[in-house]
Amino acid sequence: MTPFDQNPKDPLHGITLKDILERLVKRHGWEEMARRVQIRCFMNDPSIKSSLTFLRKTPWARQKVEAWFVRELLTYRPGKE
């Protein structure tokens, strides 16, 4: 069951920004993340810490990352990772 199944009105309920980043990095890697969301903290010496700092201060970038994550939640198929 995905978090979307538990609370369809807010698919990010209970998921921290750190969790989102860690899952995206694990699944796609920094290179793909930098390609999809073109921000320097994904391109130059990327780290979870620097990305969290930037995304917490930059709403438009955070929205892009969260929207990407939600799209993946909606299309998730078990065993695909």
Smallest CA-to-CA distance from 15 within 60, 76, 66 is with: 66
CATH superfamily label, 15-74:
SAP domain (1.10.720.30)
55-71 pLDDT, tens digit each: 999 999 999 999 999 99
Token digits of residue 59: 């709403």
Residue 4 has pLDDT above 80, yes or no: no
Token digits of residue 62: 């955070």
Which pTM does this prediction carry?
Answer: 0.80
Token digits of residue 39: 């921000």
Q: Taking residues 72-77, what's their average pLDDT?
A: 80
In contact, 22 and 46? CB cutoff 8 Å: no
Smallest CA-to-CA distance from 11 within 65, 66, 80 is with: 66
What residue ranges do the domains of the chain occupy?
15-74
24-35 pLDDT, tens digit each: 999 999 999 999
